A and B are shown apart, each in its own frame.
Chain A
C-alpha cells in the first residue's frame, strides 16, 4: 500500500507511535493552582519507586544556557522555574521504565506551593494593583513592522504585547461621518482538539540530539533547542512523521526541549506522549473582546474605523504577538477606508497559553468586523449584501497603502454564496424574519507569511523516479501529494513517479514551518523552481548526448519509460543515462528557493504574498420558545487561485468551516470560579460530530487565477474558518431582529437577545453569570 493507502489500512505511523530500543517513558506532574510560587519539590519518594529513572524539575532547567522559549517574547520555561502560572503548568517530569510506573511516581512527588491570587480574566489582569504574572521583562525582539505600525513587547504590567496601525485622520473622519456606531464582540476560548495527543521521542547519541515530534515546525524547534541548550544546529536533528491533526496547536515550541532534557538526564531515549486531556491544557485559541467604532457616509460607504482588540494570551507568550499583529491589521476587512486606527493587546492571565489557531487572529477579526458591517447595514436600511458590494476592494486595489493588491474577485465569491444559498429569494419564504433568516459574511486574511522563504530539492533518478524534499509537514492537508503534483507537472512526468521524502532537518531543505497556508504557494514555488532546475539539467545532459540544442527537447513519459522528445523522435532516457554514467545510475539534483522580500513601506514589513478571502452564507431557524438554533444551510467558499488538487482544497475549506461552526454553536473552554478549567477534557469539551452538521453543508472552491504560486495557485487552508461565525450571527439577526455578540451562540444567549437584553457580558463576569 502506498502512503495514501496506509491511512485507510492503519499502517501510517505518527510521532505517537515512535519507539526506540531502550526507550523510557515520561509523565508530567501539573500545577493544581492557577498561580503559585514553588517553594520546594521533594521527589525522593518518587525516585525510590522501582522503575523510576529520574525526575526533571525547574532546577535542571535553570542550569541550561537559556531555559525559556516563546515567539518574540521568550517567557515560557521548558518546565516551571520557581512559579506556576496556570492550572496544568508542568512542574515536574518523571522518567520511568514504563508509563504506569511514571504515573504512579507522580503521586509520590510533594510540591510545596505558596498560593498566589489568580489573574483569570482580562479585567482582573488590567485592574490597578493586579497581581503580575512576571516581575521582570523578557528577552526577545518585538515583531518587525513597517509604515504606520508600531510593535511593543511588554508595554505594561500583565500586557505581553501591543501592536497598532494607523493611517489617515481618524478623529476628523469619524467626526465628519453621517453615522458612527460602536459595537463590542466577545469570542470564546476554544481548543484545537487534534486527535493525536501531543507526542515526541528524543535520543542522544554521540552528543547529537535526535527528536521525533508531532510539531509542524521542525526547523523552528531545531533553532529553539540550539539556543536553549547552547548546541550547534547540526548537532540536532528533528524528524517529522505524519501529524495527527494540529490546526496551529502543534506549531511553535512546545514540549520538545523538555523531552530532550529528560533524555539527557535519563541517559536513554525518552518518550513523552500526553493524553488528550493534557493536550487541551497545552494551547488554546485566543478569547477576547473586540470593540469597533465605525463611521459611514449617508450612502453606506465606509469612512473610518477605530478598533480596540483585547486578546487573552493566557500564561505564556507562545505565538500571541503574531496573533495580535495579524488580528489588528486585518480587522478592517476586505473594504476601502479613508482612515484606520487598530490596536491589539495581548493580556496575560493565569489560564492555558493561547497561540496560533488556523489563521492567527483571523477568525476573531473577521467575526467582529463582519458582524458590525451587517449591523450597520441594517441600522441604515441597506441590504447587508448591498452594503458589502459598495465597499469591497476591487481586484488589484491595495489592502492598505504600501501593501499588495486584492488578488481575488471578492464580489464574484459573494455572488456565488448568494446563488447557492438562495439569498436574494429569502424574503419569499413565509418564515423570513419570523424565526427564519439568512446571513452573509466575507472574511479576509493575508497568506503565505511575512517575508517568508523556503528551499526545496527535486531529484530525478535515471529511471525517472522523482523525490521531492521540502519541510512542509504532512498534517492532513496533503502537502506531500500537492508538492509532488507541482514537481511532476513541471517536469512533465506522471504523478505516480513521485514520492515526498520523509522530513528530517539533517537532510531536508529548510523552511519556516507549516504555517499561514504557505505550503502550496511558498514551499510550492521552491519545489517548482527545483523541478525546473532538474528538468534543465536533464535536458542539457540529453542535448549533449544527442548533439542538439537543449531547447529542441521536451521531457515525456513514453511506452519505454521516460524519454526526451526531439521533433518526431523519442529517446528513452534510462539507456542514455546508463550508457554515459554506468554503475548504479545517476540522479539529477534540482534546487529551488524563494524569498519574499521585506519592505518597510508595507504596514507589516512585507507586501502580503496573497490574500485569502472566505465567503460564507447561512440560513437558520430559531425556536422562539427555547432559543434553539437550527442551521438549515451553511455555504462556505474560498479561492485557490488555481487548484493543484481540487478535492484537497474543498476538504480544507470544509474542515476549517466546521471548526468555526463548533466555535459558533457550542465550543468553549470554560473556567470555573475564574480559576479552574471546567471542561478541559475531551469528554466535557464538545466538538462538532457528524450528527451536528447543518442540514445542508456546501463548500466550494473558486479559481480566480491570480495567485502568485505555481500555476496561479494560492493557499486556502486557514480561510474556511474566517466568515462562518459572523454569517451565523447575521442570519440570527435576519431571522429574529436580535443580535448575539458573544460566542458560542447558545440557546440561552439567543433567548437573552430575543428578550432584548444586551448579551455583551464583560469577559470578567461571564463565568459567574452562567
Chain B
C-alpha cells in the first residue's frame, strides 16, 4: 500500500491515493472516488472509454497504474463542467449541440481527448481531428457528429465562450 502521505490532484482538488501498488487508475477512480464517468470498455487501452487527462495529457486509466499519478493532476469527465453551477463547458456544449454521442459510453473519452487537442491546436484541421479521435472507438455514431462537435467546440473556444 502506498502511504497516507501520498496524494494527487483530482478534478482540481487534493485527493489521497490509498491503493495497492497493482491497482489501476480506473478502479481507483470508480471505486474509491465514485467517478463512474470513467468507463471500462475494452480494459486494454484500445477503445478510449476510460480516457482521463493526466497533467493535460490523455491517458487510458485502465492501463495506468494508480501510483503513476502521484503528485500529478487528473481530470475526469466529472471535473469538466463548471464546478459551482454544473454548467457544461464549451466542449460539452458543442457535443450537445452537434449530438456528438449516441449511447454515450465513449463520450467522456471523446470530450477529454478533444480538450487536450484544442489546448494544443485551437484550430485543428479535419485531418488532425480524425487523427486525434482515432485514439478511441465510437461504435454508434460513425464519428461524423463527433467531428462536427470538435469543430464547433474549437469555434466556441476561439470566440472566448465560457
Binds B, one of A141-149, A533-541, A684-692: A684-692
Asked if B37 is an interface residue, CB under 8 A from chain A, the answer is yes
Known interface pairs A10-B108, A651-B102, A655-B140; A690-B133 also in contact (CB < 8 Å): yes
Q: Does B59 contact A (CB under 8 A)?
A: no
Closest to B43 in A: A275
Q: Which of A84-92, A474-482, A600-608 contacts B (4 or more CB under 8 A)?
A: A474-482
Expressed in whole angstroms, the Cα–Cα distance for A658 and B129 within the complex equals 18
Contact (Cβ within 8 A) A196 B99: no
**Interface assignment of A554: CB less than 8 Å from any CB of chain B:** no
Q: Does B58 contact A (CB under 8 A)?
A: no
Contacts of A647 in B (CB 8 A): 99, 145
Q: B146, A195: Cβ atoms under 8 Å?
A: no
Q: Of residues A193, A647, A689, which shows the largest number of chain B Cβ atoms within 10 Å of its Cβ?
A: A689
Q: Which of B38, B44, B77, B142 contacts A699 (CB 8 A)?
A: B142
Binds A, one of B1-9, B65-73, B88-96, B154-162: B88-96
A682 nearest in chain B by CB position: B42
CB distance from B159 to the nearest CB of A (A): 19
Cα(A244)–Cα(B107), bound, Å: 11
B143 nearest CB neighbor, chain A only: A690
Stretch in A12-20, A329-337, A365-373, A497-505 with 4+ CB within 8 Å of B: A12-20
A195-B41, A682-B46 known; A655+B104 contact, CB < 8 A: no
- What sequence of 0s and 1s flags, for each residue 18-46 of chain B, a beta carbon within 8 Å of any chain A beta carbon? 00000000000000000111111111101
Chain A residues with CB under 8 A of B132: 690
Closest to A10 in B: B37
Checking A1, A6, A477, A683 against B46 with a beta-carbon cut-off of 8 angstroms, the contacting residue is A683
A8→B139 contact, CB < 8 A? no
Whether a CB of chain B sits under 8 angstroms from the CB of A560 is no
Q: Which of B76, B107, B111, B142 contacts A658 (CB 8 A)?
A: B142
Q: Which residues of A contact B141 (CB under 8 A)?
A: 651, 654-655
A657 vs B37: C-alpha distance in the bound complex, in angstroms? Answer: 28
Name the CB-closest residue of B to A9: B81
**Closest CB in chain A relative to B36 CB, distance in Å:** 5
Taking a contact as CB atoms under 8 Å apart, the answer to whether B92 and A8 are in contact is yes
Residue pairs across A and B with CB atoms within 8 Å: the count is 158
B106 / chain A contacts, CB cutoff of 8 Å: 195
- Tell whether, in the assembled complex, residue B102 and residue A195 are in contact, meaning their CB atoms are under 8 Å apart: no
Q: Which residue of A lies closest to B49 (CB)?
A: A195
CA distance A651 to B104 in the complex (A): 13
Grouping DSSP codes into helix (H, G, I), strand (E, B) and loop, the B interface class, with mixed when no group exceeds half, is loop
Q: Which residues of B contact A656 (CB under 8 A)?
A: 142
Residues on A with C-beta less than 8 A from B86 are 1, 9
List, in ascending order, chain B residues with CB within 8 A of A1's CB.
81, 86, 88
Contacts of A53 in B (CB 8 A): none
Interface residues on A, range: 35 or more
- What is the bound-complex CA distance between A699 and B142, given in angstroms? 10
Query: Of all chain B residues, which has the CB nearest A692?
Result: B134
Of the residues B96, B143, B145, B147, contact of A8 by C-beta under 8 Å: B96
- A197–B40 touching, CB < 8 Å: yes
Q: Given contacts A195-B106, A689-B136, A691-B131, are A651 and B40 in contact (CB under 8 A)?
A: no
Contact of A193 among B133, B134, B139 (CB under 8 A): B139
Contact between B137 and A195, CB atoms less than 8 A apart: yes
Q: Which residues of B contact A8 (CB under 8 A)?
A: 77, 88, 92, 95-96, 101, 104, 107, 111
Whether the Cβ atoms of B139 and A9 lie closer than 8 Å is no
Task: Tell which of A194, A243, A691 touches B133, judged by Cβ atoms closer than 8 Å.
Answer: A691
The answer to whether A196 and B103 touch across the interface, beta carbons within 8 angstroms, is: yes
**Nearest CB of B to A13, in Å:** 7
* Min CB–CB distance A686 → chain B (angstroms): 10
| B76–chain A nearest beta-carbon distance, Å | 7
Assembled-state Cα–Cα distance A576/B14 (Å): 54
Assembled-state Cα–Cα distance A689/B136 (Å): 7
Closest Cβ neighbor of B91 among chain A residues: A8
Q: Is there contact, CB below 8 Å, between A7 and B104?
A: yes
Most buried by A among B103, B106, B129: B103
**Are A16 and B139 touching (Cβ within 8 A)?**
no
Give the shortest distance, in Å, between A163 (CB) and chain B (any CB): 30
* Interface contact A5-B77, CB-CB below 8 Å: no
Q: How far is the CB of B10 from chain A (nearest CB, A)?
A: 13
Q: Are A245 and B43 in contact (CB under 8 A)?
A: no
CB–CB B104/A244 < 8 A: yes
Q: Max chain B CB contacts within 10 Å: which of A10, A691, A699?
A: A10
Q: A195-B39, A276-B41, A690-B134 are in contact. Are A245 and B139 (CB under 8 A)?
A: yes
Residues of chain A lying within 8 A (CB to CB) of residue B139:
192-195, 245, 247, 655, 659, 687
Give Cα distance in the complex from A691 to B141, angstroms: 14
* CA–CA, A5 and B44, complex, Å: 28
Report B8 CB to chain A, min CB distance, Å. Answer: 18
Complex CA–CA separation, A162 to B69 (angstroms): 58
In the complex, what residues of B have CB within 8 A of residue A196's CB?
39, 41, 103, 105
Q: Are A476 and B140 interface neighbours, CB within 8 A?
A: yes
Cross-chain contact B47 with A10 (CB below 8 angstroms): no
A17 vs B38: C-alpha distance when bound (angstroms): 11
Q: How far is the CB of A161 from chain B (nearest CB, A)?
A: 29
Question: 1/0 per position for A692-712, CB-CB distance to B under 8 A?
Answer: 110001010000000000000
Instruction: Decide yes or no: A245 and B145 within 8 Å by CB, A8-B96, A9-B80, A13-B36 being known contacts.
Output: no
Bound Cα distance A244, B141 (Å): 12
Query: Which residue of chain A has the shortest Cβ distance to B146 in the bound complex?
Result: A690
8 A-B pairs with CB atoms under 8 Å apart are A1-B88, A9-B78, A195-B105, A196-B103, A476-B102, A651-B141, A682-B41, A687-B139
Nearest 4 Cβ contacts at the A-B interface? A10-B37, A691-B134, A476-B103, A654-B142
Give me 7 other A-B pairs in contact (C-beta within 8 A), A195-B137, A476-B101 excluded. Answer: A195-B39, A195-B49, A654-B144, A658-B143, A682-B46, A689-B137, A691-B130
